Structure 1
Amino acid sequence: MAALALLEDIANRRIRREREFRDQTDLLAHDDDWLMSRFRLPKAILLELCTELGPALQRETVRNHGLPVPLQVRTTLGFLKTGAFQRELADQSGISQPSLSRAMPAVWNGIIRMSPRYIRFPFTVGEKRAKQAFWAKYGFPGVLGAIDCTHVQLRPPSENTLIYINRKGTHSINIQVICDATCKITHVFVNYPGSNRDSFILANSAIPAIFEGNPPLDGWLLGDNSYPLKTWLMTPFIMPATENAI
């Protein structure tokens, strides 16, 4: 037992040295293209995310100072981006798989808690800015956002597996997203498995009530032909016959 404890201590010291070195260099040593290819975020946003999450993620343990915040954020984003095995990501980052497994929930729970401050559908002043941006960029008046759904593949639960099969035959959840003229996300609705149609998800989200409330929201969304035409939702002509329709 003593020999095993000694070997574990030596391994932990080696991992800690590698971790400290990589933590100090990885985020600042690479350009935005490299960071985007691995974490889908540029350097400035990664550093801001580390700052925002820092107070919640900084925790000390009896044996060491825990994983540095940038390392927790980087490895979690790497997992979310690639879906790679945790052990592979942990080895690349110089940490143990159990450490990574403990760190990831703290990071994504922190991101979820932050999200309402950043993902907000435009109202009042935001509503006016959204319309101005669509008009300035696309010459389209009165638009508050563009809506669509995207499939995120997953390993389905053991029960009700069939409801996760999408039209391409893979398992997924179907996520409704609205973005503004700069592609900034202003609304996310994650509630239905991949077999559900975009129009069904829209009908069961909060968006119809927002636009059809009293008073109704002044403006409309742009969607594709998977959505029905509504007073607040514009979709393309199926067979445009005039230049204006096109």
Structure 2
Amino acid sequence: MDDEIMVMLYILLEEDEARNQMRLFRRGLRDTQNPFETSDLYFKKTFRFSKELALMLINQLTPHLYSVRSTAIPAYLKVLVTLHFLGHGVYQHGAGLSSVTSLSQPVISRSISIVCRLISEHLMPEWISFPITNEKKTIIKQSFFDKFGFRGVLGCIDGTHVEIIAPPVTDLDHPPHVYINRKGYHSINVMLICDSNCRIIACDARYPGSVHDAAIWRMSDVRNYCRGQYENGDITSHLIGDSGYGLEPWLFVPFARVVPGSPEAMFNELLTSTRNCIERTNGILKGRFRCLLRHRVLHYTPDKAAYIIYASAVLHNIAVLANLQIDDEVVFEENDDPVRQPEIHENNLLQLGRMARTNYIRQNI
């Protein structure tokens, strides 16, 4: 065996030993450091949750994070590294070098995917639900009226885009061209509905960026429910949206043209001030979980990106219920004027919507 081969073998052995030492170092670091021993302020800044909320989340997810390996990553670290990623939009390198989450890049990536999926599957039904009981509807309507003076509002609706990397051209289930939105980047168009307290009561992250807000609404389960309720006699409950949506008896949108000082103009002003709830909800959501921001591209497949979006929405609601204040500023991303879609005359819904909106103005303004 010549000298060059001996030198190469020696180098390879040294590199292998170095990798083993690094694994041992990371394992020792994660086993000896306790993130919960840091200050409350540092913990909240790092994980975007308080210690109490993080412990609650860990306790709820731990039964689903069983592992048979004795050297497996503890469940609490899997949850914390996911919170770190969601909160900062920092990918594997950034989180992997954190002094409180000293894990390898592959472990971090797997942890994010697994934890977000578990949150979506096990916690989302509990934390994100559209009101269907009379009691819950009354509470939400009363809250909107107390804050804004708008009667009968069940929620505010809007779409928001979350940028993702282009799916591979070989992905037949997710053709990359359908994810290009009208601004020219790949995204998922997320339908959000919120109540007056900025709590998310509906979230749909199934559709690519090329699908319009109004189209997502027309295919949604919430619309089917609202329509069924209207047909069963509930004519006093409605959502409010911008002019990108079509007018329906259960979905109020602003008038396209109004005379200043007219009842229609006053209606538009009232609707706009009330609809600010969804703008603020989206701003708080992306301000707390910055992985969803426009310049923080999600480097995941559309399916995994959807789990990340759902998990962020669930955690947002947990934080809202706990009155956990966001330390950073609320993020209001640049938003183009809504693109008005051609009206769809389905069973005279447009005419019924105009009548419902006119009756509301006559009775309340």
Q: TM-score, length-normalised on structure 1? A: 0.85
* Residue number in structure 2 paired with 1:68: 74
Measure, in 2, the Cα distance between the counterparts of 1:98 and 1:191. 26
What is the SS of the residue equivalent to 2:220?
coil
2:53 to 45, 52, 65: 45
Alpha-carbon distance change, 150 to 14 in structure 1, aligned in 2, over 3 angstroms: same
Counting only pairs closer than 5 Å after superposition, residues 1-246 of structure 1 correspond to structure 2 as 10-25=21-36, 29-31=39-41, 35=44, 38-62=46-70, 64=71, 66-92=72-98, 93-113=101-121, 114-124=123-133, 125-159=135-169, 160-213=175-228, 214-215=231-232, 218-241=236-259, 242=262, 244-245=266-267, 246=269
Measure, in 1, the Cα distance between the counterparts of 2:138 and 2:112. 38
Measure, in 2, the Cα distance between the counterparts of 1:137 and 1:236. 19
Give the gaps of 5 or more residues in structure 1: none
Measure, in 2, the Cα distance between the counterparts of 1:52 and 1:221. 33
Measure, in 2, the Cα distance between the counterparts of 1:156 and 1:216. 45
Higher relative contact order (CA 8 A, sep 6+): 2
Whether contact under 8 Å (2:192, 2:203) holds in the other structure is: yes
Give the gaps of 5 or more residues in structure 2: 1-11, 170-174, 270-365
Measure, in 1, the Cα distance between the counterparts of 2:77 and 2:26. 13
CA-CA distance at 1:53 after TM superposition = 1.0
What is the SS of the residue equivalent to 1:106?
helix
* Residue number in structure 1 paired with 2:329: none
Whether contact under 8 Å (2:30, 2:102) holds in the other structure is: yes
Aligned amino acid, residue 215 of structure 1: N
Whether contact under 8 Å (2:64, 2:118) holds in the other structure is: yes
Q: TM-score, length-normalised on structure 2? A: 0.59
CA-CA distance at 1:20 after TM superposition = 3.3
Aligned amino acid, residue 196 of structure 2: A
Whether contact under 8 Å (1:23, 1:71) holds in the other structure is: no
Aligned amino acid, residue 179 of structure 1: C
Measure, in 2, the Cα distance between the counterparts of 1:216 and 1:86. 53
CA-CA distance at 1:39 after TM superposition = 4.3
Alpha-carbon distance change, 101 to 170 in structure 1, aligned in 2, over 3 angstroms: same
Identity %: 33
Output the aligned Cα RMSD.
2.7
Measure, in 1, the Cα distance between the counterparts of 2:184 and 2:163. 11
Whether contact under 8 Å (1:154, 1:171) holds in the other structure is: yes
